[in-house]
A and B are shown apart, each in its own frame.
Chain A
Amino acid sequence: MQNAKDSFYMALRTRLASINPERTILLRGAVRPGILVEEAEAPFSQLPNDVFVLRWLGLGVDLNLASTMVAEQCEILYQTCGTQSFGGLDRGRQLSEMDEEVTAMAQPFYTPKLNYTATPPAAMLTKVFWDEPRFSPIVTQRDRLSRSANLMVYSYQEQGE
C-alpha cells in the first residue's frame, strides 16, 4: 500500500513542477514543489498557505480478485489568503488557480507503481490509478479561503507488499 501512496504523491509532485514551477515550499531547508504528505512531515499547527497537502483517510481492500485490490481515500487540502501585492484581494483567483492545478495534476488518472525505498526507485509491475477529484465547497475563515479535493486511489498488491 505504501508504494501506491508514494507513487501517487510523486506523480502529483512531478506534474505540479511542470504545471506551475512557481508553486514551491521551503521545507526542512529545501525548496520543493508545493505539495507535501501531511503524515510524512512534522505536525502542523496550521496548514501552510498556497501549497497542496495530501491527507490519507479511508482504506478498503478487495480480496476476492486474482490480485488484491486496495482503495485508499486521499484528501488534497489547500488554502490561500491571496498575495501581498494585491492585499489579498486576489484570494479567489488564487484559489481558482489551485483548483485548476488539482484538475491538471490528476490527469492522466494513472501512474506506474514504483518502490521508493530503493535507490534509485524500482519499477514495479502494475499501475496505480484513481478517479476524478471531487471538490468540497470553499470554506472562508477571515481572509483565508480553503478547499479540499477527494480522490480514491486504487492499486493491486504485488508480491512482497
Chain B
Amino acid sequence: MAMTWFSAPAPVARRVRGYFAPVNRSAQAPVLFDPSEQGGFCLNTPPSPWIDLGWIQEFTRKAGSRTAAVLTGIPAGTLEQVRETLEAQVSLEFLSWTKLTMALATGSQHMNLLAPASGASAAADGAQAAPAVIPQSGSTATFIALAAADAARFTANSIVAMDADYTGQTGFVGSPVSGAYVRQALTDVDYIRRVTYNVAFVSQVSTTGLTLADPLPGGVPATGAKLQAATGFVDREGGSFYQEWSGLFVMEGSQGERIFYYYPRLQTMVSAQESVLPLDDKNKEGLARILLKGQFLALPVTDPLDGERVVCYRSFLPAANALI
C-alpha cells in the first residue's frame, strides 16, 4: 500500500510577510489572530483588520525574558527555575515606504503633510493647511462624494486624509488608529487629520467626487469627518507618544506549511532609522536601496485560557501529508 505521508524536514521559506493591526488604545484591546480559524488565509488578503505590509527582510526575534534558579541545600543546588522578567524584541526591515511602514518604523507620532493654504507661513511639520471639505452623503470607503467645487480642489494621483476636526479634546485622537495622544488642548483644527492613518491615494477625480485606489482604512467616512489633500508624510525625532500595534509575521514553507508569529502588543522602541542596502556589488558606494528599519518591544497580555502572561504566540500549521 502506498504511503500517504512523508517525513517533512525543517521548513524552507523564501521570505517573511508582515501584517499589522492597530491596538485599540482607549480600550487597551489588541487585535486577535486565531491560527486555527484564520491560518489558511491568502497572504495577499489578510483577515480584517490586519493590514498587509508586504514582504519584509532581516526579521529577527530576540527573547529577553530572564529566568533565575531557586537554590536550596548546602552546597546549593537548583530546586526549580522561575521566570524573573518577560520581554521580547522584534526587528525587521520594510521593503517599501508607505504611510504605515514609515509610521511603524518611527518612535513617535507620524504625521501627514497637509497641502498648505495659499501664503501660509512655513512650519517644519507642514504649514497651516488649506481648508478641509465635507464629504457628501453617498460616500463609501473607495469613493468620496463631493460638491463639484470641492472636487475641483483635488487632483488625481494625490493623497488625501480623512478625519474629524480637532475641537480641543485631550487623550487619544485619530480614527481608526490612534495617531497621537494629546496631553493639553491644541489650537490646530486640522491636528487630527495631521496624525490620522485614514489616508488614501486618489486614482480619479470627477465632478461628483474622488475615486480611491485603495479603501480608506476607516471605511465609510464617519459623520463629522472632513477631507484634506496631503503632499507627503513627516515624523520627528523626539516626542512622547508611543504607537502600539498588534503584529503578525508569516513564513510559508516550500511544502505549504506555515509558521506564524503573533505579537498582540508591539511598541516601537527606537527612533526613526534607515539601513542602506547597495543594489549590487558594483554599487557598494553608489546606488543603494534605503530601507526603513523597525525595532519593536513586545508587551505582555494575559492569556484568558489559563491566566498566563505572554508576549508572543508561535504557531505551526504543518504541510499537507506531512508526518508530525
Contacts and interface: CB of A to CB of B under 8 A. Distances in A.
B318 to A, nearest CB: 12
A131 to B, nearest CB: 8
Contacts of A31: none
A125 B321 CA distance: 6
Interface residues on A, range: 10 to 19
B83 interface: no
Interface stretch (A10-18, A50-58, A64-72, A82-90): A64-72
B14 to A, nearest CB: 7
Given A125-B321, A129-B254, A109 B14 contact: yes
Contacts of B8: 66-67
B5 A125 contact: yes
B12 interface: yes
Interface residues of B, number: 17
Contacts of A23: none
B112 to A, nearest CB: 35
B280 to A, nearest CB: 12
A97 interface: no
B14 A125 contact: no
A67 B6 contact: yes
A154 B9 CA distance: 13
Interface in A142-158: 154, 156, 158
B4 interface: yes
B2 interface: yes
B2 A160 contact: yes
A127 interface: yes
Contacts of A69: 9
Contacts of A9: none
Contact of A125 (B6, B9, B10, B12): B6
Interface of B: 2-10, 12, 14, 254-256, 319-321
10 contacts: A65-B10, A66-B8, A67-B9, A110-B254, A125-B4, A125-B5, A125-B6, A126-B255, A156-B6, A159-B2
Interface of A: 65-67, 69, 109-110, 125-127, 129, 154, 156, 158-160
